[in-house]
Amino acid sequence: MDYCCFMSDLTSRQVAAVAEATATVPTENFAVYGGGWPNEISTALVDAVFSIQAQYRSDTPGKGVFNRLQAFRCEYKSAVDDLTLLVEVGEAAIEAVMGNAKTSSRSKASAVIEAASNFLDIGVRTAEDFRAKNSGELKNAYVPVKGLGWITFEYLSMLLGQPGVKADTMICRFVNVALQQQGLDAVDGATARQLIALTHEQTGLGETLSHFDHGIWLFESDRASV
C-alpha cells in the first residue's frame, strides 16, 4: 500500500527529516543485509532473544551474540530448524553456549524455551510452519512471554525472511537524532518503526525494508562506537 498519500503534515515532515538523515548513510550499507536464518527457526529464535540489549558482533572469539550463535549451530545441527528438538536441548545447554544473560530478570534461555513451547502449541515446529501461520496468531504466542515483546517478534519474523524493522535502540536513536536536528520531537519505538517503513517507501534505498533497516542499524552502531 502507498501510505504517502495518507500522511499528515507532521508525518510528512518527520519522514522528510529521516530521509535527509539517510543521505549520510554509506550507500553500500543498504546492500549488506545477510538475510537472517530463513530456514532455521531455532537459530532465529535464539538470535532474536539473545540479541536483546546485547553486543551482537565481536572480534573476540566466543564473545558477541553472532559468534556464540555459530557455536550453537555447530553443537546442535539437528535442532536448528526444529523447535521440538530445541526444547529437548533445554535451558541449561543453551546457556552453556549462549551465556546466562537475562531479560526482565529471567534467563534469556528460559524465554527461548517458553517461546518455542508456545509456538509448538499452535503447530509451529519449523521455519516453513512459521511462514505459513497467521502473523497475529504467532505474535499472540510470542509476546506474552515475560521479557519478550513486539520488537523482538518483528526481528524474529525478519530473520525468518519477512521484511520488517527492528525498532531497537540504534534505530530509535537514528530516527530521533534526525528529528531533533529538524526541530521535531522525539518519538517512541512504534512511531520510529513507521517512519523507517515510510522513508524506505519514499527513498527506495535497499532491496527490501530489512536491507534498509539493517543499513541504518550498521551506521548508527558504528556512530555509537566512536
pLDDT computed for residue 116 by the predictor: 98
Q: Over 50: is that where the pLDDT of 63 sits?
A: yes
Quote the CA–CA distance of 1 and 97 in Å, as a whole number: 43
Q: Over 90: is that where the pLDDT of 7 sits?
A: no
pLDDT computed for residue 6 by the predictor: 58
| DSSP at 124 | -
pLDDT computed for residue 35 by the predictor: 87
Q: Does an H or E element contain 103, and which?
A: strand 102-103
pLDDT computed for residue 58 by the predictor: 82
pLDDT computed for residue 57 by the predictor: 83
In the predicted model, what is the mean pLDDT of residues 78-96? Answer: 98
Using an 8 Å Cβ cutoff, are 42 and 82 in contact? Answer: yes
C-alpha cell at 30: 543498504
pLDDT computed for residue 226 by the predictor: 62
pLDDT tens sequence across 24-36 = 999 999 999 888 9
Give the mean pLDDT of the chain.
94
pLDDT tens sequence across 203-220 = 999 999 999 999 999 999
pLDDT computed for residue 3 by the predictor: 46
In the predicted model, what is the mean pLDDT of residues 99-122? Answer: 98
Quote the CA–CA distance of 110 and 103 in Å, as a whole number: 10
Q: Over 50: is that where the pLDDT of 196 sits?
A: yes
Amino acid residing at 14: Q
Q: Over 90: is that where the pLDDT of 4 sits?
A: no
Q: Over 50: is that where the pLDDT of 2 sits?
A: no
State the pLDDT confidence band at 176, using cuts at 50, 70 and 90: very high
User: 34: closest CA among 154, 161, 172?
Assistant: 161
> For the chain, what is the HEC assignment?
CCCHHHCCHHHHHHHHHHHHHHCCCCHHHHHCCCCCCCCCHHHHHHHHHHCCCCCCCCCCCCCCHHHHHHHHHHHCHHHCCCHHHHHHHHHHHHHHHHCCCEECCEEHHHHHHHHHHHHHHCCCCCHHHHHHCCHHHHHHHHCCCCCCCHHHHHHHHHHCCCCCCCCCHHHHHHHHHHHHHCCCCCCCHHHHHHHHHHHHHHHCCCCCHHHHHHHHHHHHHHHHHC
Of 16-25, 27-36, 90-99, 110-119, minimum mean pLDDT range? 27-36
Cα pseudo-dihedral 85, 157, 102, 69, rounded to 10 = 60
Using an 8 Å Cβ cutoff, are 56 and 48 in contact? Answer: no
